[in-house]
Structure 1
Amino acid sequence: MADEDFLAEQFRRYRPRLRAVAYRMLGSLSESDDALQEAWLRASAAASEDIRNYDAWLITIVARVCLNMLRARTQRKEDSLEIHIPDPVVCAEDETNPETLALTADSVGLAMMIVLDTLAPAERFAFVLHDMFAVPFEEIAELLEKTPAATRQLASRARRRVEGKAPVPDPDLAKQRAAVEAFFAAARNGDFQALVAVLHPDVVLRADGGLLRAGQTAKLTGAETVASQATLARSLQPFARPVLVNGAPGVFAIRDGKPISLMAFTVVDGKVASIEVILDPERLAVVAESLGLA
């Protein structure tokens, strides 16, 4: 067995990357932490002096745990018309925490996470490990108990679905923020045409409990349809503060010490291509705590 203190040091060293793997696999911060706890138990029981690459070895263990969790989730999942927005990673715009930065790296925004949630477990597993963390197909195939060729097909199928449905944000964060500010300015002024102009023609707005009645979800598509709901943005603006949500511009609204909304934006070619809105009080409380506002 490897020295446990040395192993614990390696686990702490690679923890930001390991949590990033788990988050992209599961889309849940609490489940990601559960996966890391289980991975540590497995690692401490299996470690040996023969390990040469602890980063790759630990990623393999975390990935196995996440695959089991994804499969269990699929087995108990019931058909639902509700829209699930994965847990957001919210931070201040000057965030320096390495674990948070690892979670938000590579522009894995909420729109992308929503698409990842639609993939079958094996597809998500192959795509995340290969395309996001450069794990060779031969190693992924061994974990899935499939051939490398079959594993490549899984990742390719997942990649086509992601590329077709998940907008890729502009690389310039300042330009993204400018589009978001233009959206709020148009909403504040009640300028419908300016709102339509800053929205992508195929913009999608998703809300987790809110545009209909409390506890319901909503999905709106199209610039004019989304612009017609700008009352929400106008009413929240006096209480909103800029934040980063999964590395992209967002606003967190808090009134009289009570969090009331989180809005995340994906900006493509200078236009808002997707808006994710979280209104659930319990989830907002978690965000407020992460920002030190609870």
Structure 2
Amino acid sequence: MPEIDEKDVVVVAEPGEIVEVSAGESIIEVEDPELRKRRPRKVYDGMWGVTEIAAVAASAFILLVTILVYFFAVVPSQQELAKNRSEAERLEAERILAQSKYGEITNTTEQVGKLLASADDFEVRFLPAEPNGRTALYQRLNGLIAAYNLTNTSGPDYQPLETADQETGNNQSDTERGRERFRSLFPGVYVTTTVEGSYQNLRRFISQIETGNDFVIVSSVELASSESEQKRKEATETRAAAPAQPGFGANPGFGIDPRMANPAVQQQGQQQQVERPKGKTLGEVVALRLEMAAYFRRPNFVPMVPQQ
């Protein structure tokens, strides 16, 4: 503690009291012994305190909850929404299609009338009467065969097709049972024919039958090599392969030019040339077997809808 001179003036002031001092005077501050006890003390624990740790933990918890909500609530909702939109688009397409088909239907009676009128129109426009239809079919087939320079080797064979409501016997052949599937509400005839000609003409022949005004169903088309063409080729090959007969028995070499090659070698070369296989050539004769069913108007046909 510093020594106090007797000449010095010492002024003792209470805490909080304002004291004026003159020159040569000094102030000695007396510390309150209770002041150090009342002073708050705080220990520095670094950057992470209790508050910071609690804030970070709360933030992490909120982030985890957000992630769980996204994967378990938002993602399934989006998938369900996409599925519902796809289903809605499908139903809308079906509605538009149904409206295009049945949009004009006002009641059942009117729709039945339209269907009956359509059936009557089909039978009147596309199905000729049976006697006239048979004659026209015969003439058309014969005319097409002649027009495309075809050879009729078999048929045409015409077998009647009864209507589906007529009963047939049990003693039917395999061919008759095969024609059963072509029976319908309309009478008809089943035609089987075999013609021969060039491939191009056969294609035109079939096209004319399919695009005609008659109601015809082509059930079978078979192409094969022509038997007559094969027989003609075999006869030609036989004549070409036969050895040449000498004109005079006493002198077999008479009339043979010695400057030419050996006749036996020539005949062998001709045989090899004949036996060489040939591919399909333009205009080669082909056999066509055609089966079709033609239908006619019912004999007791009466329009179900009165004509206006």
TM-score by length of structure 1 reads: 0.19
Greater radius of gyration (CA): 2
Higher relative contact order (CA closer than 8 Å, sequence separation 6+): 2
TM-score by length of structure 2 reads: 0.19
Larger helix share, 1 or 2: 1
